[in-house]
């Protein structure tokens, strides 16, 4: 829902242009507020996608009765009715929006009010009683917020493009480039734009206009909760089911049609199970061609979703995706709307599905977040296998035999890829566990751009210190990085089509439960992933959903990049060769190893293509 932008500077900025760059996020209305405080120009802008209270009364900025407090808000507060009833019974309201609840709660409680919120949001609050501006982001980082702060000048926005429209120069942050190729996105609060950062999840920034100070504070941590201490496995199943049901129900709050991304996998099927019998809900599923699935070595999502929809009588729409969709035009499209560069093959299908869904639904529920919280990735299983291996005689010899496996040739390609990676990094320090979960090969990704390798490895080592339990380390590592990449592209690809994405698994109460229960409740000692979810919903879901093999949600990159002609058509080697730091020799080597089937470098090739198009669009 919506986009926000604004500034505190020594001169007025083109707020209308900044807002116009976010038009796709809010086609329904826009509003601005500008003033001068202590010789500083201050501006707030809002572009609206109407989800709650579709009338003009819901337009922003929201202003207090004394005209001293102004709020621009993006997102939803899912418990706003409860908060209204509990804290604001005596207040007079002019709208039925959650934003007005935010304003009145802030007036009553100050900045501490954010601890009461259950929602996905990014907001700015200008308080002229204190001469302070607050920027606030939700606990899980579902809604984006970027800022540039230099020499007492602050510019912020839901997307980077609004900051660039303010006059902040688009420059490549070369120091972040190697990490981009390793992770396929910029980790932590970094971006590839110099002097532009993300406000991290569960943080707020405070600009004090009286003394021109800018500071950022953390207001929540996803820690273990005392009330879940020593919780039994049976009680954990009951609790996760209760919380997910409530989280899903809360995310149905809307005055517009709601739909879901339905893959036929565990996570989206759990959400759909709560919606059986609701004929107003539409479900959307991508389908891939058989030839792509064979080259990928993966299974089809669509056949499971189709079967489920038939059994449950769900209104489901099929949206075909395939090799033909991965062309420079589509890649450029995702980059244009994303601007904070992410090389993830899931972006194009997310965009295509939402483009079709937008014709009927303005809100889409996603099962994103379950894999990170409940240990659903192959890298988690590899970490478990690593532990088994360390207790075996001749473990290094066994690992070496895994490394000798070709990744792209023969049967069971997906398993071969994972075993190859396990064998390659088995002897590495403790940060190897991070390498098991990142997309693509670590050493190959390091080699294409000659950056400060020590900084990259130290970044990983900080998350995985020697002797630490890797599964405890995953909690922070994936929450602060991989999960942020995923919610970022979900927001950008849905909002590109003026649709709001909502994520029940990232309700903060579900996060706290996942952090509190033991590892073997999530990943069993025999390697069964997301165990507590599968067992909690085994009576609600068919066996072909709970027992099926995981399939990736993304473009068939391995199929697409099995052709040298296709790679040459997409990859601009001349541009990369002209830039300092790139190693064309290593790039060529990785491409040839990929084509031969020795290695799977599809993710790295896609990252190179994505970077070149981003660079041409923003920097050149």
Three-state secondary structure along 462-517?
HHCCCCCCHHHHHHHHHHHHHHHHHHHHHHHHHHCCCCEEECHHHCHHHHHHHHHC
Say if strands 29-37 and 40-48 run parallel, antiparallel, or are unpaired.
Answer: antiparallel
> Rounded to an integer, what distance in angstroms lies between the CA atom of residue 50 and that of residue 48?
6
- Calculate what percentage of the chain has a pLDDT beyond 70: 95
The string of pLDDT tens digits covering residues 100-120 is 999 999 999 999 999 999 999
Question: Beta strand pairing status for 315-320 and 213-218?
Answer: unpaired
User: In angstroms, rounded to a whole number, what is the distance separating the alpha carbons of residues 557 and 609?
Assistant: 12
Q: What is the pLDDT of residue 293?
A: 56
Question: What is the DSSP code string of 382-408?
Answer: HHHHHHHHHTSTTHHHHHHHHHTS-SS
d(CA 425, CA 257): 48
Q: What is the pLDDT of residue 70?
A: 98
| Residue 151 buriedness (CB in 10 A; 0-12 / 13-18 / 19+) | exposed
Q: Are 304 and 543 in contact (CB under 8 A)?
A: no
**Parallel, antiparallel, or unpaired: how do β-strands 258-261 and 282-287 relate?**
parallel
Non-local (6+) Cβ contacts of 508 within 8 A are 118, 139, 140, 220, 222
pLDDT band at 303 (very low <50, low <70, confident <90, very high): confident
What's domain 222-620's architecture? Answer: 3-Layer(aba) Sandwich (3.40)
Residues 540-593: tens digit of each pLDDT: 999 999 987 766 566 778 888 989 999 999 999 999 999 999 999 999 999 999
| Under 8 Å between Cβ of 505 and 244 | yes
Residues 561, 605 contacting (CB under 8 angstroms): yes
- Cα–Cα dist 507/120, whole Å: 9
Residue 292 has pLDDT above 90, yes or no: no
The end-to-end CA distance of the chain, in Å, is 32
161: left (phi over 0), alpha (psi -120 to 50) or beta: alpha
Q: Closest Cα to residue 369, out of 246, 460, 270, 446? A: 270
Q: Which of 160, 192, 189 is nearest to 176 (CA)?
A: 192
For residue 305, the number of C-alpha atoms closer than 13 Å in the C-beta half-sphere is 28
Q: How distant is the alpha carbon of residue 87 from its chain centre?
A: 32
Q: Three-state DSSP class for 67?
A: coil
Under the banding of pLDDT at 50, 70 and 90, the label for residue 450 is: very high
Backbone angles phi, psi at 260, to 5 degrees: -140, 155
Per-residue model confidence (pLDDT) at position 321: 78
**Shortest CA distance to 121 belongs to which of 196, 220, 245, 40?**
220
Summarize pLDDT for 144-200 with one digit per residue, the tens: 999 999 999 999 999 999 999 999 999 999 999 999 999 999 999 999 999 999 999
The H or E element containing residue 108 is helix 98-109
What confidence tier does 291 reach under pLDDT thresholds 50, 70, 90? low
Query: Exposure string (b/e) for 98-135, b if CB count within 10 Å is 16 or more?
Result: bbbbbbbbbbeeebebbebbbbbbbbbbbbbebbbbbb
Encoding tokens for residue 334? 């995702």
Smallest CA-to-CA distance from 172 within 601, 583, 581 is with 581
pLDDT of residue 171: 98
Percent of the chain with pLDDT over 90: 81
HEC string of 537-561? Answer: CCCCCCHHHHCCCCCCCCCCHHHHC
Q: Is a pLDDT exceeding 90 seen at residue 375?
A: yes
The encoded tokens of residue 546 equal 């709970």
Rounded CA separation 283/308 (Å) = 11
Distance CA 92, CA 442 (A): 57
Q: Where are the domains of the chain?
A: 3-170+197-218, 222-620
- From the number of C-beta atoms within 10 Å of its C-beta (0-12, 13-18, 19+), residue 143 rates as buried
Determine how β-strand 363-365 pairs with β-strand 500-502. parallel
CB 87 within 8 A of CB 117: no
pLDDT score recorded for residue 458: 97
- Mean of the per-residue pLDDT values of the chain: 93
Beginning with the edge strand found earlier in the chain, give each strand of the sheet holding 315-320 in spatial order: 315-320, 282-287, 258-261, 363-365, 500-502
In this prediction, residue 55 carries a pLDDT of 80
Does residue 405 surpass a pLDDT of 70? Answer: yes
Dihedral Cα 205, 482, 197, 42, nearest 10 deg: -50
What is the pLDDT, as a whole number, of residue 252? 96
Up-side HSE of residue 595: CA atoms within 13 Å toward CB? Answer: 12
Query: In the numeric block, which tokens belong to residue 396?
Result: 């290094």
**How far is Cα 63 from Cα 545, in angstroms, rounded to an integer?**
49
CATH class of 3-170+197-218: alpha beta
Which pLDDT value is given to residue 296? 54
With a cut of 90, say whether residue 298 has pLDDT above it: no
Q: What is the pLDDT of residues 478-515, one digit of tens each?
A: 999 999 999 999 999 999 999 999 999 999 999 999 99
Do residues 72 and 6 lie in contact, with contact meaning Cβ atoms separated by under 8 Å?
Answer: yes
**Cα separation, 291 vs 472, whole angstroms:** 39
Minimum mean pLDDT among 128-137, 312-321, 410-419: which range? Answer: 410-419
Residue 130 pLDDT: 98
Enzyme catalytic residues:
2
- Structure letter (DSSP) for residue 112: G
Q: Which band of pLDDT confidence, cut at 50, 70 and 90, is reported for residue 213?
A: very high
Residue predicted with more confidence, 88 or 28: 88
User: What is the number of other CB atoms lying within 10 angstroms of the CB of residue 452?
Assistant: 12
Strand 197-198 and strand 315-320: the pairing is unpaired
* Cα 346 from Cα 552, distance rounded (Å): 8
For residues 51 and 88, is the Cβ–Cβ distance under 8 A?
Answer: no
The per-residue b/e assignment along 43-55, b for 16 or more CB within 10 angstroms, e otherwise, is bbbbbbbbbbbee
Residue with tokens 């207090």: 64
- Strands (DSSP E) found in 332-461: 363-365
């Amino acid at each position: 829902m919506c986009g926000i932008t604004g500034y505190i500077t020594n001169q007025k900025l083109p707020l209308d242009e900044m807002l116009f760059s976010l038009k796709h996020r809010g086609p329904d209305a826009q509003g601005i507020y500008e003033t001068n405080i202590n010789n500083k120009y201050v501006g707030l802008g809002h572009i609206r996608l109407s989800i709650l209270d579709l009338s003009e009364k819901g337009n922003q900025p929201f202003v207090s009765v004394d005209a001293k407090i102004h709020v621009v808000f993006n997102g939803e507060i899912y418990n706003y009715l409860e908060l209204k009833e509990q804290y604001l019974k005596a207040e007079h309201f002019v709208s039925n929006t959650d934003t007005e609840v935010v304003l009145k709660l802030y007036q009553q409680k100050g900045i501490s009010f954010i601890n009461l919120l259950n929602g996905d949001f990014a907001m700015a609050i200008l308080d002229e009683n204190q001469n302070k501006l607050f920027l606030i982001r939700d606990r899980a980082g579902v809604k984006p917020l970027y800022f540039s702060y230099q020499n007492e000048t602050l510019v912020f926005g839901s997307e980077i493009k609004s900051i660039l429209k303010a006059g902040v120069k688009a420059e490549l942050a070369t120091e972040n480039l190697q990490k981009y190729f390793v992770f396929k996105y910029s980790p932590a609060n970094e971006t590839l734009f110099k002097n532009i950062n993300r406000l991290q999840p569960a943080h707020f920034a405070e600009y004090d206009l009286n003394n021109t100070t800018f500071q950022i504070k953390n207001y929540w941590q996803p820690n273990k909760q005392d009330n879940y201490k020593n919780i039994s496995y049976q009680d954990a199943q009951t609790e996760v089911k209760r919380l997910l049901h409530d989280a899903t129900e809360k995310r149905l709050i809307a005055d517009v049609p709601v739909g879901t991304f339905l893959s036929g996998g565990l996570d989206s099927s759990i959400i759909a199970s709560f919606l059986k019998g609701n004929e107003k809900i539409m479900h959307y599923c991508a389908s891939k061609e058989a030839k792509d699935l064979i080259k990928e070595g993966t299974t089809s999502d669509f056949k499971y979703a189709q079967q489920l929809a038939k059994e449950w009588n769900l209104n489901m729409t099929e949206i075909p995706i395939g090799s033909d969709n991965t062309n420079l035009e589509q890649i450029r499209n995702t980059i244009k709307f994303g601007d904070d560069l992410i090389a993830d093959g899931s972006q194009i299908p997310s965009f295509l599905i939402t483009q079709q869904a937008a014709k009927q639904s303005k809100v889409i529920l996603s099962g994103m977040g379950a894999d990170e919280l409940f240990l659903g990735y192959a890298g988690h299983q590899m970490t478990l296998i690593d532990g088994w291996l360390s207790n075996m005689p001749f473990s290094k010899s066994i690992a070496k035999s895994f490394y000798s496996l070709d990744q792209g040739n023969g049967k069971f390609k997906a398993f071969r890829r994972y075993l190859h990676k396990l064998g390659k990094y088995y002897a590495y320090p403790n940060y190897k566990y991070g390498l098991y979960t990142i997309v693509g090969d670590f050493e190959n990704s390091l080699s294409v751009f000659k950056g400060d390798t020590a900084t990259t490895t130290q970044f990983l080592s900080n998350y995985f210190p020697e002797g630490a339990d890797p599964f405890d380390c995953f909690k922070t590592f994936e929450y602060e990085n991989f999960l942020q990449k995923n919610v970022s592209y979900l927001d950008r690809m849905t909002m590109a089509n003026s649709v709001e994405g909502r994520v029940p698994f990232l309700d903060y109460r579900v996060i706290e439960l996942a952090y509190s229960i033991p590892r073997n409740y999530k990943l069993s000692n025999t390697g069964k992933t997301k165990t507590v979810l599968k067992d909690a919903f085994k009576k609600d879901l068919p066996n072909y959903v709970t027992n099926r093999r995981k399939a990736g949600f993304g473009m068939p990159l391995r199929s697409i990049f099995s052709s040298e002609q296709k790679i040459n058509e997409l990859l601009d080697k001349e541009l990369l060769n002209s830039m300092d730091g790139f190693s064309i020799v290593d790039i060529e080597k990785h491409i040839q190893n990929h084509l031969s089937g020795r290695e799977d470098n599809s993710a790295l090739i896609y990252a190179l293509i994505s970077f070149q198009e981003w660079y041409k669009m923003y920097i050149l």
